[in-house]
Amino acid sequence: MRLIESLATTEPLADLFSDESVLEAMLGFEVGLARAQGRLGVIPQAAAQAIHAAARPEAFVSRELAREMLRAGTPGIPLVKALTERVRALDPAAAGFVHWGATSQDLTDTALALLLKRAQPLLAADHSRLDVALRRLADQHRDTVMLGRTLLQPAPPITFGLKAAGWMAAIRRGWARLTEVFTDVLIVQFGGSSGTLAALGEQGIDVGRALAEELGLGYPDAPWHTQRDRLAALVSACGIQTGSLGKMARDIALLTQGEVGEAAEPGGAGRGGSSTMPHKRNPIACAVTLAAAYRVPGLVASFLSAMVQEHERAVGGVQAELPTVAAVVQATGLAVASMAEAAETLAVDGARMRANIAATHGTIFAERAMMILGATLGRDVAHKILVEAAEKSIAEQRRLADVLGEMPEVSRHLAKDALRDLDSPEAYLGVAEAFRRRLISSTE
C-alpha cells in the first residue's frame, strides 16, 4: 500500500489493484485467449503453450510498462509488444499468435473484470462481518432508550436497537444491489477492432465463449466497448452503499461527541489518539468512512460523464474509467471494513442515553402532552399551552409535567396524576419495536 493511499483503501484491496496484480490480470487475458484459441485450433497448440510459458508477471518491469502505456494511450499495446518479445525468445514461430484477433480494449476491460471478480469476495467478507455485528446491536439494544434527534435537536425517544436496525437494513439493501451488478460486470470483453471479430471469421463467438470459460467469466451477447452501463451500475451501487455507510458513520461520530457521550469507538495503542491531546478518543473508523463517502460521489459522476462514448470505440472514455473504478471499489471496501470494525467493537452507554433524555426535563414529551390535552381542548389550544409550558420548563430547568400541573387551564381538564408518567420514555415509543423487527426480517 502506498502512503498516499493509506486512508483510501484496505491492504487487501491495495494489493488487488497493485501493479503486480493488474499485470497478472492483463497477462491472464492473453493466456486465456491463447489457450482458448489453441483448444479450438485457431492457433497452434505449441503457440498457446509458448504464450502461457512467457506470460510470467515477474518477467515484466511495471515501471517501464507504465511509462510506455502513457505514451501509447492504452495498456494493451506496450504489454502485447513486451509479451510478444518474450514469446519470440522462447518460440519465434509462436510470437505471431500473441493477442490473435483481439484489440487493446479487450485486454483492459477483461482484466478489469478479473480484478472485480477478485474484489467481490473481499467486499462480501466485510459486509458479512458488518451484518452480524449490526444484527447483534439491534437485538441487544432493542430496549435501550435514547433521544430521537431531528434537525440535530432533541426529539421524542427511540431505541438504539431501532437505529442499528435502520443502518443494517440500508446496508443489506445496498449489498443486494452490489451483488446483482457484480454478476453483470463479471463478463469477458472480446470484440476485436470494431466489435465484430471479423479477423476470426465465423469462429469469433466460439473463441469468445471458450475465452470466458478459461477465465471463469460470463459471455455477453455482444462486445460492449462503448456500452458502459454495466460498469456504471456497479459504480453507482458503490456510491449508494458508501453513502449508507457514511450515514452510519455520521450518526456514530455524533454520538461519540463528548457532550453526548452515548457511544465510543475502541481506543488503544495507535488507535483514536491525538498527537497533542492525550485525552482524545477519536472516532477513526467513522472518519475514514466519511472520507470515503465524500470522495465517491465525485468519482461516480466522473464515471457517468465518461459514458458518452463515440461509435464503436471511444476517445478518452476508457482511459478515464480504470483509475476511477479502482478508486471507487477501494473506497467502498474501506468504508465497509471500517464500519464492520466499528460495529463489532462499539461501546454503547445506555445509562448516558437515559441521562440525556432526563436532561431535557421532559420537554421532548411535549408532543405526548399535546395529544393528551388535545383530546379535550383541541389540538390548536393544546399546542399553544405546550409552547408556553415548554418555554417555562427550559427557562426554569424544571420537569415539563410539573410545570403543566401548575397551569389552571390544564388542571381544570386533567386529573392530578394524568401527567405523572409523562416523561417515561418506555411509554412513548409507539411501534419502534415493530419497526425494528420489520427492518430485520424484511432484508433477511
Q: Does residue 263 fall inside a structural domain?
A: yes
Look at residue 278 in the predicted model and tell me its pLDDT.
46
Q: Closest Cα partner for 363 from 267, 431, 428?
A: 428
Whether residues 274 and 405 share a domain: the answer is: no
11 DSSP β-pair partners:
none
Whether residues 267 and 344 share a domain: the answer is: yes
CATH of the domain at 94: 1.10.275.10
Domain count across the chain: 3
pTM of the model: 0.93
Whether residues 317 and 248 share a domain: the answer is: yes
Q: Does residue 211 fall inside a structural domain?
A: yes
Whether residues 197 and 182 share a domain: the answer is: no
DSSP state of 431: T
Contact 144, 107 (CB under 8 A): no
What domain range is 323 assigned to?
Answer: 118-187+224-349+433-444
CATH of the domain at 318: 1.20.200.10
Whether residues 333 and 247 share a domain: the answer is: yes
Exposed/middle/buried for residue 32 (C-beta within 10 Å: 0-12, 13-18, 19+)? buried
Digit-by-digit pLDDT tens for the chain (444 residues) are 788 888 899 999 999 999 999 999 999 999 999 999 999 999 999 999 999 999 999 999 999 999 999 998 898 999 999 999 999 999 999 999 999 999 999 999 999 999 999 999 999 999 999 999 999 999 999 999 999 999 999 999 999 999 999 999 999 999 999 999 999 999 999 999 999 999 999 999 999 999 999 999 999 999 999 999 999 999 999 999 999 999 999 999 999 999 999 999 986 554 544 444 444 578 999 999 999 999 999 999 999 999 999 998 898 888 899 999 999 999 999 999 999 999 999 999 999 999 999 999 999 999 999 999 998 889 999 999 999 999 999 999 999 999 999 999 888 888 778 788 899 999 999 999 999 999 999 866
Exposed/middle/buried for residue 316 (C-beta within 10 Å: 0-12, 13-18, 19+)? exposed
Respond yes or no: is residue 236 known to be catalytic: no
Identified catalytic residue from 228, 230, 313, 399: 313
Find the angle CA(173)-CA(180)-CA(319) to the nearest 5 degrees: 110
Q: Closest Cα partner for 125 from 336, 386, 304?
A: 336
Respond yes or no: is residue 274 known to be catalytic: yes
- Output the nine-digit C-alpha cell for 320: 478515464
Whether residues 122 and 199 share a domain: the answer is: no
Whether residues 275 and 412 share a domain: the answer is: no
Q: Does residue 309 fall inside a structural domain?
A: yes
Q: Closest Cα partner for 129 from 340, 370, 357?
A: 340
Exposed/middle/buried for residue 221 (C-beta within 10 Å: 0-12, 13-18, 19+)? exposed
Exposed/middle/buried for residue 406 (C-beta within 10 Å: 0-12, 13-18, 19+)? exposed
Give CA–CA dist 79/48, Å, rounded.
17
CA distances in angstroms from 246 to 235, 253, 288, 442, listed in the order given: 16, 10, 9, 22
Q: Does residue 242 fall inside a structural domain?
A: yes
Amino acid at 232: A
Whether residues 72 and 168 share a domain: the answer is: no
Q: Does residue 354 fall inside a structural domain?
A: no
Whether residues 294 and 157 share a domain: the answer is: yes
CATH of the domain at 398: 1.10.40.30
List alpha helices for 98-228, DSSP H.
104-140, 160-185, 204-215
Whether residues 142 and 178 share a domain: the answer is: yes
Give the end-to-end CA distance of the chain in Å, rounded to a whole number.
35
Q: Does residue 229 fall inside a structural domain?
A: yes
Identified catalytic residue from 6, 274, 305, 441: 274
- Output the nine-digit C-alpha cell for 382: 393544546
What interhelical angle do 104-140 and 317-345 show, nearest 10? 20
Q: Does residue 355 fall inside a structural domain?
A: no
Amino acid at 208: G
Contact 343, 307 (CB under 8 A): no
Whether residues 60 and 74 share a domain: the answer is: yes
CA neighbours closer than 13 Å in the CB half-sphere of residue 180: 10
Whether residues 197 and 76 share a domain: the answer is: yes
Q: Closest Cα partner for 326 from 94, 87, 59, 15?
A: 15
- Output the nine-digit C-alpha cell for 166: 435502520
Q: Does residue 64 fall inside a structural domain?
A: yes
